Amino acid sequence: MTFRTRFAPSPTGPLHLGHACSALLAHDLARAAGGDFLLRIEDIDQTRARPEWEDLICEDLAWLGVRWDGPVMRQSERMAHYGAALDALWSRGLLYPCTCTRRDIAAALSAPQEGADPRGGPDGPVYPGTCRPEVSHRVPASARPTDRHLRLDMSAALQVLKRANAADLTFTETGPAHGGQIALSHEACLSGIGDVVLARRDFGTSYHLSVVLDDAAQGISHVVRGEDLFDATPIHVVLQRLLTLPVPVYHHHRLIRDDSGKRLAKRDDARALRKFREDGLTPDDIRAMVGLPKTT
């Protein structure tokens, strides 16, 4: 199996040290294995994506010495693929429309009859099921709606996988914090993840759906990303099983944090690679700052 990984930034701001760590590590692993390193631009949020940010991403990566193989994939050019996957899941009765706002969800979770503190999942509080149909896995007679959010009926999805003998929800993790074979229980998927949004009304897709489809389309064998996304991996494995896609090996690396221990974000412009470049630092200086070995 050819080692193939990717770096998938969003063009909504400058790359910072955390991005540099992820891109350099993935690039180093691919080159050490004689494999491929691909670049994907995750620009489904067209309200925030800007061409100038994508240009700067490419400039920063070139300065770091990161070279990608083949053409750049852009999510904005793949909306038809996401729509086809949503149609397939909808026709199987595994999606349902949801009109709840964040305020609605918070109110439902804080209601006295809930009797417990809201449980947090990869996307925030686990959805309480307000819009979930009473009869799960009912094949809809109507076409997939595009004017509302669409949620995965997690219970129905797990039932489908069980009937198809595809309920073995495991993945291989090689990262420093969670290395080994990770097994996911159905109960954990229900109580700790719940009915996640797979299509937002304003995007037409979601991070979870698009990343799974894009990794499969690019033939990604190893996903290298920050450990903040480890808890989202069960969602991706469930979708991979539902859509009969390969499950890659995952490597979740440590996060780069500021002096107060806070994870870096794009709003932390003081940590932008562009500014380090302008201040005269070298790519090896950046490698040292994120704990990676210098180039030989």
| Distance in angstroms (rounded) separating the CA atoms of residues 163 and 167 | 8
| Distance in angstroms (rounded) separating the CA atoms of residues 125 and 184 | 19
Check whether residue 134 and residue 31 sit in a common domain. no
Q: How far is CA 75 from CA 64, 192, 263, 264, in A?
A: 24, 28, 25, 24
Check whether residue 30 and residue 100 sit in a common domain. no
Check whether residue 10 and residue 127 sit in a common domain. no
Check whether residue 34 and residue 60 sit in a common domain. yes
Check whether residue 42 and residue 163 sit in a common domain. no
| Distance in angstroms (rounded) separating the CA atoms of residues 213 and 240 | 8
What lies within 8 Å, CB to CB, of 133 at 6+ separation is 96, 153
Considering its fold, how many domains does the chain have in total?
A: 2
Check whether residue 127 and residue 242 sit in a common domain. yes
What's the whole-model pTM score?
0.93
Check whether residue 205 and residue 90 sit in a common domain. yes
Instruction: Identify whether the C-beta of residue 42 lies closer than 8 Å to the C-beta of residue 10.
Output: yes
Tens of pLDDT along the chain (296 residues)? Answer: 789 999 999 999 999 999 999 999 999 999 999 999 999 999 999 999 999 999 999 999 999 999 999 999 999 999 999 999 999 999 999 999 999 999 999 898 887 555 456 678 898 899 999 999 987 777 787 899 999 999 999 999 999 999 987 768 999 999 999 989 999 999 999 999 999 999 999 999 999 999 999 999 999 999 999 999 999 999 999 999 999 999 999 999 999 987 666 666 655 566 799 999 999 999 999 999 999 999 86
